[in-house]
Each structure stands twice: as structure tokens, then as C-alpha cells.
Structure 1
């Protein structure tokens, strides 16, 4: 039978942890509101600029801009977006597992001398792949991005590294893996192509071989000049949206995890309190029996 002092210590420890998880839940809820506002305001702009870029991409031949040109895929870059902190359920674990599965899949598609290089955004992913490389090169790491408000300078630094690696031939294709924010209780892992930019809209191809969009527009200045000026903004917006999605999803996952931890602490406290009461009752009963036994022994001794 456990001692009452030990049970009381466990109860106090669980109550202390419960206070921490409850506070973390409230902090995550406040951060989630801000993150949710940012991603909701960023989505329409990101969607619209992607539609504009896709409209231009459907017109031009890929040779007119190196970011549109498809190459033989020998090396692949994967941008892995995780959190900087834990205590957010399976948020980071699911991303890492998805990246490992993607790596195994891409290895089968690459030539024997092909390489997979990672760009790790977030401390958890960077730490994991630094310890468990398994023949995978970390091309760049950005731990600490989510420990503060996401700034456009961080976005530009990441974009510059990724685009520079693509243009220099470090990798022939770039993919991004991140958690998309759907709701407080739902986050969806997304794996999407980043570079090269490929057309998604349907286009008409006349007999002369020139691609024409379904609706033609007259542009001023020349369309290729507009495309070249919009591409950096589009890539920045894409990365910014991914970081905002991941940040909102992280806060939602942490809030849910801390809420579950608080509820589990409540259940554990109930069980410990019940055990404490049972143990205390057993000790009281034992003491009463000992007193009654002593009194009976004294009575018999006096009678003799």
C-alpha cells in the first residue's frame, strides 16, 4: 500500500503540471487568433497572384525564364517546414514521417548518382535531420524562424537560398512539405511543387505551336517583363503563405494538445484523490482495529 505522503506529492506534482498545460493552452489560443487572422488575410492575395502567374506561364515557352524550365531531375531539394518547439502533439512527427516517406519515394525515381538535399525551416526538423541524415544533405537550415513574428526578411532569405540553388543546378526540382491550417482540430500535410513553375491552367495550342490562353489579353509593358517582375513577388508570397499556414497549424495543434493534457491531468487527479481516500480510510480502519485490540487485551489482563 503506498504511503499517504507519496500520494500527496504526486497530487501536488500533477496539479502543478496542470497549471502549466492550462496556461500554455491559453497562450496558444491567443497566438492562434493572431496567426489565423494573418493567414486568412494572406490567402486571397496569394491565390490571386498565383492565378496571374499561371495565366502568364500558360502563354510562354519555358525557355523564356529559367524558373519555368523543366530539366532532367537528378537532384531534388525538399523544403521541410516544422515547428521550433515541441508540446504540439504529433505536429512535427507527422511532417518528419511524411518527408522520410517522400525521400524513399524520390530515391527510387532518381538516377544512382542523384541526391536529395533538404532546406529545413524550423528547429525540430533541422535537429532531427542533423542527427539522422541517412545520406541526406542539409543544404540550408533556418531554426528559430517561428520563435518570433514571421518577417518578410526571413521569407526573402529562404527564397533567395532556394531559388539560388535551383538556378545554380544544386537541384533540378524543389518540393515543399508543410502543415496546412484547416481548422483548430484539423491540420493537413501538404506536399507541393515549388520549382520549376509549371502551368496548371488549360491552354489552347494552335497549329503553329504557340500556346494561347483561353482568354487573350493585351499587356503593357510586354508580358515577359511583367512575368519577370512578378515572379519574385509570387515566390515570396508562396513561401510566406506556407510559413503562415504552418504557424497557424502549429498553434492549433499545441492548443489541442494542451487541452488534452489538462483533461488527462483532471482524470489523473481524480484517480489519485480516490486512491488517497481509500488509503487513508484503510489506515484509519487499521488504527481503530489496533486500538480495539489493545483495549480488549487490557480488559482481559485486568479480569485475570
Structure 2
């Protein structure tokens, strides 16, 4: 029984240490989440302004039609999926949700035919997942910072846009977890190319141009449309990172709660075992005293 008490006590001490670690990790994820949510808000202000400028410059194209390659759909021979996952675990179902959704899309729309799709991967978990299954990963980025700057992701974003312009693929989707709140995220699959989120109705309702253009309108659009798409992809990366921090915080909170529950159960078990030991010792002493009478 002494061995059993010692074993239970050891489990309690070990679980308490684990709970302290998970609690600290929860607080770290919480701090990262606050910063990431602020970064998302700041980006949304920028994205809104860029959208306004782009819509105004494209007013006639959106209303009457356009022949711009960034706006016009072409026959789809190959589709690209830019998939955003984390670089590590301990984030609950964050990675499994998005990877499951992507695999279902590939099975449904391409019948798993590798000639019909390619994958651009951000995050080690996704890259390792796809490569382990022999799937085509044309470009990847690992080791993303907790608060990624545009410069850090510029290469993979620019590469994605260039591949579309060079007709290596004909449609680009970004697949990621959209941050709703600290407890909830939603899988989002957003078409980035060709550009479809600019709405003709917005162009009709927009005011007369208030922007001074230098150089020509066409030269500006040639630079602006790729940058507009790049900003949307960057926004998705920030959104996904926010969801990742929220998932990590929730996962560590759950782990901490579970550890506390285990400690409570072990404490009850320890007290019962200790009580049984004391009762047995008293019984033995009484029996010994009775034997001496």
C-alpha cells in the first residue's frame, strides 16, 4: 500500500508540473492572440482603402466587362491551392480541419488527378502532410513568425501571382482557418485569382474619381492588380495566424482544465488509499493488543 501511495503522489506531482506548463503556454498564446487581432484590424483598414482605389480605377471594366487577365476567367487546366497551416502542433484541431477540407476538395473536383492541381503550402504541418502522401507541392514556406510581416511572406505571395500570370495554373484558391472569436474558427476557401471579389454594383455606386493619377491609369492598374491580390493573400495569412493563436490558447486551456481534473481525481484516490492504510494499521494494532491479553 505504501508503494501505491508513493505512486499516486508521484502522479499528482507530475500532473501539477504539466498543468503549470500548459497554463503558461495558454497565457503566451493569449498574448499572441491580442497582438494578432490588432494586426488584423489594422490590415482591414488598409485593405478597405486599396479596394476602394481599385474599384474606382476599374469602374468601366467592372460595369461593361474587361479583357484584363487578372479579372477574366480562362479555361481551367490546373488549379492551385494555397494552404495555410501551422509550423507546430498543440493547436487542437486547427490543422486537421483545413487539411481534411482540402483533401475532400481535391477528391471531389479533381478525382485526385495530380495533373489537375498543385499545392502551395505555408506551414510545416501542411507541407509534411502533403509530401508524405506524394502530392505535388510546388512551393512552400516554413517557420513563419507569430506576427508575420509582408516582407516575410512576399516571396511566396509574389511567386503565386507570377505563376498565375505565366499560366502555370488558371485558378488560385487560398484555404485557411478564418478567425471568428477566441473559441471559434471556420474553414474558408477563397478564390483569389482571377479576381472575383470586386463587384460591379460597387463601381456604379462609387463617387466620381477623387484620385490624382500619375502615371497613366493603365500603368497603375498593371502594378495595382497584382498588389491587390497579394494584399488579399497576406490578409488571409494574418487571419489564419490569428485563428492559430486562438486555437493554441483554447487547446492549452483545455489541457490545463483536464490536468486539474486529474489532480482532483488522484487526490481523492490518494486520500482513500491513505485512509485504508491507516485503518489497516489500526486493525493490526488492535488485533495485536487483543492477542497479548
* Fold shared, TM-score > 0.5 on shorter chain: yes
TM superposition shift of 1:248 = 1.2
TM superposition shift of 1:191 = 0.7
CA distance in 2, matches of 1:199, 1:185: 28
1:152 is matched with which residue: 134, 143, 150?
Answer: 150
TM superposition shift of 1:50 = 2.5
- Cross-structure match for 1:201: 199
Is 2:94 the counterpart of 1:94?
Answer: no
CA distance in 2, matches of 1:271, 1:199: 54
1:254 is matched with which residue: 242, 248, 254?
Answer: 248
- Cross-structure match for 1:12: 13
Give TM-score, length-normalised by structure 2: 0.89
- Cross-structure match for 1:170: 168
CA RMSD of aligned residues (A): 2.3
- Cross-structure match for 1:117: 118
Q: Is the 1:95–1:177 Cα contact (8 Å) retained in structure 2?
A: yes
CA distance in 1, matches of 2:250, 2:197: 38
- Cross-structure match for 1:280: 274
TM superposition shift of 1:42 = 0.7
TM superposition shift of 1:163 = 1.3
SS at match of 1:66: coil
**Mapping 1:8-157, distance limit 5 Å:** 8-57=9-58, 59-60=60-61, 61-63=65-67, 65-107=68-110, 114-133=115-134, 136-146=135-145, 148-157=146-155
Greater C-alpha radius of gyration: 1
Give ranges in structure 1 of 5+ residues lacking alignment: 205-211, 300-304
SS at match of 1:162: helix
1:169/1:233 CA distance change after superposition, 3 Å:
closer
Give TM-score, length-normalised by structure 1: 0.86
Give ranges in structure 2 of 5+ residues lacking alignment: none
Q: Is the 1:58–1:201 Cα contact (8 Å) retained in structure 2?
A: no
Which deviates the most, 172-181 or 67-76?
A: 67-76
Q: Would you say how many aligned residue pairs link Structure 1 and Structure 2?
A: 286
